[in-house]
Amino acid sequence: DQGFGTLSGGEKQRVLIARALAGQAKFLILDEPTNHLDIRYQLQILDLVKTLQITALAALHDLNLAACYCDRLYVLKEGKVVASGITENVLQPDLLRSVFGVETEIRIHPKTGKPSITFLPDSLRGGDHL
């Protein structure tokens, strides 16, 4: 009983996905589907998309969410694909340093079995800290 403009960000995302599914979409293109959402709703949206059993292409800036939900990644730098493949092969410290200019530690999460990225602050760069 509400207008679209009165819905929260998460509700709007769910309405848009429902609209695509009502049209029997075989493929979803999602541009930052988790943008401006609390973490609970980010997980809800990505859980929903993952259960749909259709192909989805999503632009995500949160690399930990991408690692958890995506089967394949395409990493862009200056509008060009610089790496692609399965998540575990793409998310590597050297690539993240090259593309994003950050130091990272990447471990396989014991519960998800997916890469989990810790971003290290500039104060820990270099020396014996890495």
- Residues 25-78 have pLDDT tens digits of 889 999 999 988 889 989 999 999 999 889 999 999 999 999 999 999 999 999
65 Cβ contact partners less than 8 Å away, ≥ 6 residues apart: 34, 42, 46
Band of the pLDDT at 130, cuts 50, 70, 90? very low
Phi, psi angle pair for 10, to nearest 5°: -65, -40
Q: What value does the mean pLDDT of the chain take?
A: 90
Count other Cβ atoms within 10 Å, centred on residue 115: 21
